[in-house]
Structure 1
Amino acid sequence: MVLGLLRRLRPYGASDAAPGLSVPLPPGAGAFGCEAVDLLGQPLGSVEVTVTALDSHRVAARGTTDPYGYYMAVLPPGRYSVMLTADGLAPARETVEIAAGVAPAPARVTLEPGRRLELPPAGTWVFDPPHTAIRFIAKHVGMAHVHGRFTRFDGGIRVAEDMSDSQVSVRIDASSITTGNQTRDNHLRSADFLDVENYPYIDFTSTRFAYHGGSKWTVHGTLTMHGTSRSVGLDTEYLGTVNGGYEQELRCAALARTELHREDFTLNWRSMLARGIAVVGPTVQLALDVQAMYRTHDTPTPPH
C-alpha cells in the first residue's frame, strides 16, 4: 500500500493525478518520501528514519521504512535534516526542502556497511569487575520499572583467530542481586525467585558469534538460571580496544543486551502474586557493559 502511494505522489491538486491514487495534503503542507536500499540496490526494511527541522532542531517526524524500504512523512514547509540508521550500517544523512502542496517522488538513499573496528587480538581476555556492569530492568507489577544489578561475577573471552569461533563465559553470584530495596532483594533471593541456596550461580556459555556488519554481533549461547538452561542471543556492540589502566593493559569493551522471560526459567511469579508479593513482572531486560583485559597470548577457555 505504502509502495503504491509513494510511486503515485503528485503535487496536491495536480490535474494528471488519477482519482484515488494521489495523496491529498493538508493545506500548506508538503510531503517527503525516501527509499532505503543497500549497495546492491536491495530494499532495506526497518531502517529508522528521523526528520529534524533545521530551524528549531526539533524532531518533526520519526518512523521506520516498510518491507520495501519506503518511508513517507507529511511536513510543514521548511528545511529538514533526514537521518537513516540501521544496525550494521553507516548512518546516512540528507537535507531536504519541503514546499507547500508538493509531494515529490521518493529519494533513493543508499546505506553502506558500517565501519568495522579492528577486532581484538586472539588470546584470553578477563573481565575487569570494577569497569564491568551487569544490570537489568524489569517492570514492577502494576507500578514503575525496577532497576537492578549483580555486584559479584567473573568471566572471560577466548578470542579466536576467526572471531566467529570465539567463546565467552560468565558466572554470576545470584545472591549478589540488588535493586536498592532490601525487602524486595530478599524476595528475589528466596525460593520464590532465584532460590540462591539451591542455585547459587547464573551461568552463560556462548556457542557461536554471528556478525551483522559494522560493530554489531549476536553472541548465541546457553543461559542457566534456577536450574534451567535456555538458548539466548546477546545483541552485542563491540566498542574497540585501548591501552589503559594502572599497568597500561590492553583492554577491549562491548555492550550486550537481551530480553529474558521469567517463565522460561520456571520462576513462578504467579505464585508470588497470589501471595501478595509484587516483585517484578514476567519480562526482564538484561544489559552487560563489559570491559576485559588482555592476559596471555594463548587461548585457553575462560574460567567460570
Structure 2
Amino acid sequence: MKTTLIASALIAAAGFAQAQSATYGVDPTHTFVTFEAQHFGTSTLRGRFDRKEGTVQLDRAGKSGKAEITIDITSVSTGVGPLDGHLKSKDFFDAATNPSAKFVGDKFSFNGDKVSEVAGTLTMMGKTLPVTLKASNFNCYQNPMLKREVCGGDFETTIARSQWGIVYGLPGIPDNIRLLIQIEAVKQ
C-alpha cells in the first residue's frame, strides 16, 4: 500500500512538472534584435534585423527551457540604405550566401521564477559558437487583448564578430559587437 501511494505521488508529480512546460511563439511585433558597434572610436552605430521568428519552451517550475530564434540577415536595417547594402555584402554578413542566423538556447538560468540568462549557440556565417544572453528584465503576464500568457524580457551579450569570420574594417571598426534582444513570446 505504501509503495502504491509513493508510486502514485511520483506519477502525479511527473505529470504536474510536465504540465508546467509551455511553448511560446515569438511575437515579431514585440521582438527586436538590434546591434551596436563603435564607429571608428567616435559614435555608436546601431542597426536592427526587421524579420525574426522562433519559439520558446519554458518550464518555470522545472527551471528549464529551450529557445530557437531565427534572424533574417537580409532584413538588416540601419536607416542608411548604402550602409545596409554594405552590411549585406561579402565584406560583412554575406547575406546572399548566409541569409539567416540562428540562436538555440538550451541552458536556462533562473533567479527565483524569472529567467536570468540563456546559454546556447549562435550559428552565423556557417559557424556555430557558444553565446550566453543575460537578462536585464524578464516577466510573464496575462495579455488582456490576446487572452493568453505572454513572457519576455531584455537580453544582451557581446560577441567578437571575427569569430564568425567578419573581419572587414578591423581594427578601425571594433571587433566587439553588442547584441540586444528584446523578446515577447505568446503562449501557444
User: Which of the residues 97, 104, 110 maps onto 1:198?
Assistant: 97
More strand by share: 2
Q: CA deviation at 1:138?
A: 0.8
Which structure carries more relative contact order (alpha carbon 8 Å, separation 6+)? 2
The partner residue of 1:127 within 11, 21, 26 is 26
Counterpart of 1:146 (choices 32, 37, 45) is 45
**Contact kept? 1:170, 1:203, Cα under 8 Å:** yes
Q: Which amino acid aligns with 1:294?
A: K
Q: How many Å apart are 1:168 and its aligned residue?
A: 0.5
Question: Do 1:134 and 1:288's aligned partners in 2 also have CA atoms closer than 8 Å?
Answer: yes
SS at match of 2:29: helix
Please give the alpha-carbon distance, in whole angstroms, between the structure 1 residues aligned to 2:137 and 2:43.
Answer: 31
**Are the structure 2 counterparts of residues 247 and 217 from structure 1 closer, same or farther at C-alpha, using a change threshold of 3 Å?**
closer
Unaligned runs of 5+ in 1: 1-120, 296-304
Tell me the amino acid that sits aligned with residue 65 of structure 2. S
Partner of 2:5: none
Partner of 1:288: 181
The letter of the residue matching 1:282 is D
Instruction: Quote the RMSD (CA, aligned, Å).
Output: 2.1
Match of 1:268 among 167, 171, 174: 167
Give TM-score, length-normalised by structure 1. Answer: 0.52
- Number of paired residues? 169
Structure 2 CA distance for aligned equivalents of residues 175 and 206 of structure 1: 23
Deviation at 1:163, TM superposition (A): 4.2
Counterpart secondary structure, 2:92: coil
Q: Provide structure 2 residue ranges, at least 5 long, that are not aligned to the other structure.
A: 1-19
Tell me the equivalent position of 2:87. 188
Please state if 1:256 is matched with 2:149: no
* More deviation, 208-217/150-159: 208-217
CA 1:179 to 1:163, structure 2 compared with 1: closer, same or farther past 3 Å?
A: farther
SS in 2 for 1:281: coil
What amino acid sits opposite 1:248 in the alignment? K
Instruction: Provide the rounded CA distance (Å) in 2 between the counterparts of 1:228 and 1:162.
Output: 34
Q: What one-letter code is carried by the residue in structure 1 that aligns with 2:151?
A: C
